[in-house]
Amino acid sequence: MFFLAMLLPLSVTAAELPPAADGSFSIVVIPDTQHYRGRATKAEPESTAQVSNPTFHAYANWIVANIDRQRIVFVSHVGDIVDINNDDQWRVALDCMNKLHGKVPYGISVGNHDMTSAGDSSLFQRYFPRSRFSEFAWYGGCFEPARHTSISADNTNSFQLFSAAGTEFVYLHLECNAPDDVLAWADEILTRHADRLALITTHMGLGPRKKPETSRDFYDAPKGRMNWTKIHGKRGNSPQQMWDKCFRKHGNLIMICCGDQSRTQALHNESRGEQGNIVHELLSDYGTNGLRVMRFVPSANQIIVRTWNPLTGELCESTKISPERSRHQFELNYRTAKAQR
**CATH number of the domain encompassing residue 317:** 3.60.21.10
- Bridge-based pairing of strands 167-174 and 197-202 is parallel
Please indicate, yes or no, if residue 10 is contained in any of the structural domains. Answer: no
Question: What whole-number distance in Å separates Cα of residue 199 and Cα of residue 107?
Answer: 11
In a domain, 201, yes or no: yes
Residues 6+ away with beta carbon under 8 Å from 210: 217, 221, 222, 227, 228
- Mention every residue, 6+ apart, whose C-beta is less than 8 A from residue 339: none
Does residue 48 form part of some domain?
A: yes
Distance CA 31, CA 283 (A): 9
Residue 115 sits at φ, ψ, to 5 deg, of -155, 175
Q: Give the angle subtended at the CA of 191 by the CAs of 24 and 164, to the nearest 5°.
A: 15
Rounded CA-CA distance 37/271 in Å is: 38
Task: State pTM to two decimals.
Answer: 0.94
> For position 327, what pLDDT does the model report?
96
Which pLDDT score is estimated for 336?
Answer: 58
> How many Å apart are CA 194 and CA 249, to the nearest integer?
11
Quote the pLDDT of residue 108: 98
What phi, psi does 54 have (nearest 5°)? -60, -35
| CA 307 to each of CA 149, 181, 258, 293: distance values in angstroms, whole numbers, following the listed order | 38, 34, 14, 6
- Pairing state of beta strands 197-202 and 223-225? unpaired
Q: Are 154 and 124 in contact, with CB atoms under 8 Å apart? A: no
Q: Give the separation between CA 177 and CA 175, rounded to whole angstroms.
A: 6
Angle at 122 between CA 143 and CA 98, to 5 degrees: 85
pLDDT given at position 268: 97
pLDDT of residue 15: 52
> Is 333 domain-assigned?
yes
- pLDDT for the residue 338: 56
How big is the chain, counted in residues? Answer: 341
Show the 3-state SS of 40-62.
CCCCCCCCCCCCECHHHHHHHHH
**12 in any annotated domain:** no
Residues of the chain with pLDDT under 50: 1-14
Domain encompassing residue 310: 20-340
Give the pLDDT confidence score for residue 341 in this predicted structure.
Answer: 52
Phi–psi pair at 284, nearest 5 degrees: -140, 115
| pLDDT tens by residue, 209-245 | 999 999 999 999 999 999 999 999 999 999 999 999 9
The total number of structural domains that make up the chain: 1
Bridge partner residues of 198 (DSSP): 170, 253
Q: Return d(Cα 242, Cα 201) in angstroms, integer.
A: 12
For the chain, what is the mean pLDDT? 93
- Nearest-angstrom CA–CA distance, 272 and 213: 30
Q: Please give the pLDDT value at position 128.
A: 98
Provide the 10 A C-beta neighbour count for residue 138. Answer: 18
Residues 6+ apart with CB under 8 A from 247: 200, 253, 256, 273, 279
Does 2 reside within a domain?
Answer: no
β-bridge pairing 278-284 and 253-258? parallel
Residues facing 278 on adjacent strands: 272
Q: Residue 248 falls within a domain, yes or no?
A: yes
Neighbours of 74 (CB within 10 A): 21
Instruction: Report the greatest alpha carbon distance in the chain.
Output: 59
181: in domain: yes
Which of these, 220, 326, 177, 210, lies nearest to 266 by C-alpha position?
326
For residue 239, give the nearest of 248, 254, 229 by alpha carbon: 229
